[in-house]
Amino acid sequence: MINFNYCTALKNSITIPLNKQDASATNGITVKYMRPVITKDTEQYANHDVFDKHMDDYYIILMVTKGNAIMHCGMENITISANGLLVIKPFQVHGIINISDDIEGYFTGIESFLIPAQCRAVFNNLAPKQQFLHLTPQQTLVNTVKLLHETSEGNNLHKNAIINGLFTAYIHQVAALYEATSTLVESRQNQAATITEQFNTLLSQHSFLELPSFFAQKLNITTAHLNHCLKTTTGFTITHWLQEAMINEAKQLIYYTDNDIKQIAYILGYQDHAYFARQFKKITGQTPLAFRKKFRE
């Protein structure tokens, strides 16, 4: 499924840094506590580029419990404040413009393939201004992410299982809050955004092995126009999103099933499992078996 982001459509987007998830992530999930006094000069963010515009290849959920900040996110400047949530989508250009010295909250980074499809659809259809959600005090939500953080920092024998269970509860809680709010908000969308949403829906219904022209024909537009719309709203072409859909589905099968790589390749529609393995490594930087070992440790 497309991770449609409304990020800056720049011809030289390759110059924007793309970060991968921290190696310390547990089963593809990183949870960190944001403590007060975060500035460009503080030790906590020394050698980090969060203040500069960049992209990450995973989802980020920021829960702010105290303080405020101004962030650039998807061609918009967004003010975030206490009792608020901010969802940042994969490959979405973002960075911190200003931040108060009393900021507190929780940072959660999540590999795309771990986000349930129904939750991913909610997040992907948010316009930039809708990505920050101001809440009435949500103690249950705070307790869930706090426990998730404490578990990730601990050495419980059942750590991985507990994290997976807490994460499932947390991500569904967050998606439900956004979904309830989005039904009350009428989002004005230009043609490019509308076509991107329609492409997103089609991609969830059809194989990523279909040609770009297949999706363009379904939308009654030319392939060039579809590419233009996707570049405008996400910064990436059809080919990129077809590859992303393949990688997400492959990761789910590798992680959640015990099928061998040859079986998984055939399930995905590849007749040559060796070609699939090469493509997977080319895009992710690791072999399918290395990915399975890493996330099942």
Q: What is the pLDDT of residues 210-248, one digit of tens each?
A: 889 999 999 999 999 999 888 887 778 899 889 888 898
The average pLDDT across 112-126 equals: 86
Averaged pLDDT of the chain:
82
Lowest mean pLDDT among 17-21, 95-99, 108-112, 132-136: 17-21
Most confident region among 35-49, 134-148, 189-203 by mean pLDDT: 134-148
Establish if 132 belongs to a structural domain: yes
Q: Of 141, 162, 182, which residue constitutes the final position of a domain?
A: 182
CATH number of the domain that 101 lies in?
Answer: 2.60.120.280
Range with the lowest mean pLDDT among 28-42, 91-105, 194-208, 216-230? 28-42
**pLDDT band (50, 70, 90) for residue 6:** very low
Q: Could you tell me if residue 216 is inside a domain?
A: yes
Query: 62-66, 106-110, 156-160: which range is least confident on average?
Result: 156-160
Residues 167-189 pLDDT 10s: 999 999 999 999 887 654 444 45
Examine residue 7 and state whether it is found in any structural domain, yes or no. no
Residues 129 and 210 in one domain: no
Domain that holds residue 198: 191-296
Query: 213 and 165, same structural domain?
Result: no
> Which distant-in-sequence residues (6+ apart) come within 8 Å of 154 by Cβ?
none
The predicted pLDDT at position 223 comes to 93
Q: What three-state secondary structure class fits 169?
A: helix
The stretch 49-69 carries a mean pLDDT of 85
Q: Are residues 73 and 43 in the same domain?
A: yes
Q: What is the pLDDT of residue 297?
A: 67
- Cβ proximity of 109 and 58 under 8 Å: yes
Q: Identify whether residues 28 and 102 lie together within a single domain.
A: yes
Tell whether 44 and 162 lie within a shared domain: yes
Is residue 265 domain-resident?
yes
Residue at 8 is within a domain: no
- Compute the average pLDDT of residues 127-148: 84
Domain end position, chosen among 163, 182, 201: 182
| 156/263 same-domain check | no
Mark whether 207 and 171 lie in a shared domain: no
Block residue for tokens 């908000």: 185
Q: Please report whether residue 6 resides in a domain.
A: no
Is 110 domain-assigned? yes
Q: Domain of 290: which CATH number?
A: 1.10.10.60
Q: Check if the beta carbon of residue 154 is closer than 8 Å to that of residue 69.
A: no
What's the structural domain count of the chain? 2
Concatenated DSSP letters of the chain: ----------TTGGGS-EEPPPTT-BTTEEEEEE-S---TTSGGGTT--TTS-BEESSEEEEEEEE-EEEEEETTEEEEEESSEEEEE-TT--EEEEEE-TT-EEEEEEE-GGGS-HHHHHHHHT--GGGSEEE-S--HHHHHHHHHHHHHHHS--TTHHHHHHHHHHHHHHHHHHHHHHHHTT------HHHHHHHHHHHHHHHS-TTS-HHHHHHHTTS-HHHHHHHHHHHHSS-HHHHHHHHHHHHHHHHHHH----HHHHHHHHT-S-HHHHHHHHHHHHSS-HHHHHHHHH-
Q: Are residues 158 and 88 in the same domain?
A: yes
Does one domain contain both 166 and 20?
A: yes
Q: Which residues contact 284 (CB under 8 A, 6 or more apart)?
A: 247, 291
Domain stop point among 139, 161, 182: 182
pLDDT at residue 85, rounded to an integer: 93
Q: Are residues 94 and 154 in the same domain?
A: yes
What's residue 229's pLDDT? 87
Collapsed DSSP state (helix, strand, coil) of residue 264: helix
Domain presence at residue 3: no
Asked if 35 and 62 sit in the same domain, the reply is: yes
